[in-house]
A and B are shown apart, each in its own frame.
Chain A
Amino acid sequence: MSRLSSTIDGWRSFDSFAAEGLISGLDPRTIILSALCTVIAMTGAGKGEVMVLLPLAAFPLTLLVLADIPPMWLVKRILPVLPFALMIGLLNPWLEQGTVTLPGGAEISTGWFTLASITLRALISAATALLLIASVGLLNISRGLAGLRVPALFITQLQMLFRYFFVIGEEFQRMERAWRLRSGSRRGRMPLKLAAQLLQNLFLRSLARAGRIHNAMLARGFSGEVPAGAPLHWRLRDTVWLAGWAGFALLCHSNLPMLLGTLLTGQPQ
């Protein structure tokens, strides 16, 4: 399946989760802000930190459980994100000169901790972003952003993009499929000249489509404002959810595992 086809199918699957689960009862602003708290706490962990990062995986895992999302769905989408972070992280074991003696007596480069930390960061951040959209839904994300005072024109643009990606994407999918069926290429790469020609055609079709959509909008009384939809309501459970995750992120930043571990084992830090 081409990347375009898998994206169109993947996008459809995102919206199928959002309607169900406990998350749908929360204000989208709550989920966006708590995801941001988690990511900021994650990026705030020191270089080479692994233990501080581990508990932060609880946020995406909670979204996964509460939104009833199949774990394999998440794994399939996270894997393509890892190569860039791994490419940057893989050099650290050789570049860093410091060493750490492990409990067994073996001595390893501190770069291995940096690599592990970067990989863990990539996993947590990708899972948080993917599960945020999967559990809340694309249109609810835009409603949440509007509630967070993001400019109305940007929200309208996001909603237009959501709506017309399928129309334009499927049109391009047909063009690409026609090329694929006739080219015999198995590598999925299009010659640059042909890609340019296809995009020229798609662009003209998109312009014509935009003209038709504009006429349809004018016929329905469009005056420059797109209706915002039902207003959002902030409730007590939203406050509890946000305060809980913000507090948790703060505790993780202060090395929560160490605090708990010390409490259980009685070992001073």
Chain B
Amino acid sequence: MHMSDALISPEVGLSMLAIAGGALALSCRSCSREIRSGENLSQIPLMGVLGAFVFAAQMINFTIPGTGSSGHIAGALLLAVLLGPAAGFIVIASVLLVQALLFADGGLLAYGANLFNMGFIPCFLVYPFLWRPLISPNSSRQRIVTVSLVTGIIAMTAGAFTITVQTVLSGITTLPFFKFLMVIVPIHILIGVGEGLITASVVLFTFSSEGAELFLGPKSKRTGSRRTVVAFAIAAAVLAGMLSWFASSNPDGLEWSVARVESTEEAGQQPAADLLHQKSAELQQSTSLLPDYQLGTPKSTDSTAAGSAISWRTSAAGLIGSALTLTLVLLLAMVLKMRQKRSAVPLARG
């Protein structure tokens, strides 16, 4: 399941974009070095074709055994096994970007979060720390199926967990952490079963036709582990730097939600907020259309009043303003379009 732009805050979105982008840049650097040295020239068409393979495979909805629902393969674990973690991560990053643009799955700002949940976790955590150490060229079919099944479930569930954390940290919706987790995790465990079984099936088939040594050589293990450590170091640095900066000025989503509900019920009994928070609240008050709703301070002086009244005139001013803004921009677009149609020669391409 994709994290959506509708539920993410800029702080969380940009932080995740920085982490996933950093991991992507490192992966590209490492793979490019190998390709330039001529050691792995066939990797480029292989990555492209396997990207197309995973993209097409995601279009097939299979029945989740024992339930009435259906799911589709995510493919990152399979790509990590077949191409190695770095190349697998680059391929899944390209697939997720095309999905974000072509199907609007997730959105532009949530791309980093989705790449982390569906690419970074399977490629840099689950594959090098679980799948790879547990599988050797001599592993039995049963072992490959069991390990792929368990790691598929872990990768999916971990992704669902991070979606929940990102949503709650963003604070756009008031869904309590554990309730959200209870909604989202069970279905991801079931999808993980399908993911694990299909991964095992394709891996077994490939091992038998191409040879397991090709995919399980000593190099893939070493490269994966080293890159994971580097990616982790960057992720930790970015998280420590960016998130703590945002955290200092705003409480996290869960605290924010709780504080808002409490302040609606017990206005006037709140302890004074810190200076930065107070300033941001004042700014929000001055720019917000529904300031009372935003900050949870009832307009009425009666502290027992549960709600807050919205001024008719304020609403009308906001509505008129919105309509005017949209009309102005659209008029401008129409004028530009008319000018373009009148012009015999279209604007030259850059």
Contacts and interface: CB of A to CB of B under 8 A. Distances in A.
Same complex origin of A and B: yes
B71 to A, nearest CB: 9
A264 B49 contact: no
Given A65-B330, A151-B25, A199 B202 contact: yes
A204 interface: yes
Contacts of B288: 46, 49, 52, 255
Nearest to B294: A46
B278 to A, nearest CB: 16
B285 to A, nearest CB: 9
Given A192-B197, A210-B50, A265-B320, A25 B348 contact: yes
Contact of A264 (B105, B174, B294, B321): B321
Contacts of B284: 46
B62 to A, nearest CB: 4
A88 B51 contact: no
Contact of B325 (A128, A192, A257): A257
Interface string A200-236: 1011101101110110011000111010000011110
A40 interface: yes
Nearest to B327: A58
B24 interface: yes
Contact of B108 (A99, A110, A129, A248): A129
B42 A129 contact: no
A154 interface: yes
A125 B108 contact: yes
Contact of A100 (B55, B105, B308, B320): B308
A187 B59 CA distance: 14
A186 B304 CA distance: 58
Given A22-B337, A126-B104, A258 B56 contact: no
Interface stretch (B136-144, B153-161, B165-173, B224-232): B165-173
Interface string A108-138: 0011011001110110011111101100001
B340 A22 contact: yes
A215 B1 CA distance: 38
B125 interface: no
Interface of B: 1-2, 4-10, 13-14, 24-25, 28-29, 31-32, 35-36, 38, 41-42, 44-53, 55-57, 59-65, 70, 73, 90-91, 93-95, 97-98, 100-105, 107-110, 167, 171-176, 180, 194, 197-198, 201-202, 205-206, 209-210, 256, 260-261, 264-265, 284, 286-290, 292-294, 296, 306-322, 324-326, 329-330, 332-334, 336-337, 340, 346-350
B111 to A, nearest CB: 9
A243 B263 CA distance: 40
B310 A151 contact: no
B326 A167 contact: no
Contacts of B198: 192, 195-196, 199
B44 to A, nearest CB: 6
A3 interface: yes
Contacts of B294: 46-49
A88 B52 contact: no
Contacts of A211: 42
A172 B62 CA distance: 15
A183 interface: no
Interface residues of A, number: 142
Interface string A73-106: 0000110110011001101100111111111000
A223 B6 CA distance: 43
A188 B347 contact: no
B10 A84 contact: no
Contact of A130 (B98, B101, B194): B101
Contacts of B55: 161, 165, 168-169
A180 to B, nearest CB: 11
20 contacts: A22-B337, A61-B326, A84-B4, A88-B175, A91-B174, A103-B311, A121-B5, A125-B110, A151-B25, A160-B49, A169-B55, A190-B61, A195-B60, A207-B46, A210-B46, A214-B41, A259-B321, A261-B321, A261-B322, A264-B321
Contacts of A65: 330, 333-334, 337
A203 B206 CA distance: 8
Contact of B29 (A51, A151, A238): A151
Contacts of A162: 98
Contact of B60 (A42, A133, A190): A190
Contact of A206 (B50, B95, B296, B306): B50
Given A95-B174, A113-B290, A157-B90, A210 B109 contact: no
Given A85-B7, A261-B316, 5 more contacts: A22-B337, A47-B174, A84-B2, A130-B102, A160-B47
A224 B35 contact: yes
Given A92-B174, A192-B194, A214 B46 contact: yes
Interface string A132-158: 110000100100000000011110111
Given A44-B10, A232-B350, A257-B318, A214 B45 contact: yes
Nearest to B283: A254
A265 B316 contact: yes
Contacts of A66: 333, 336-337, 340
A160 B45 contact: yes
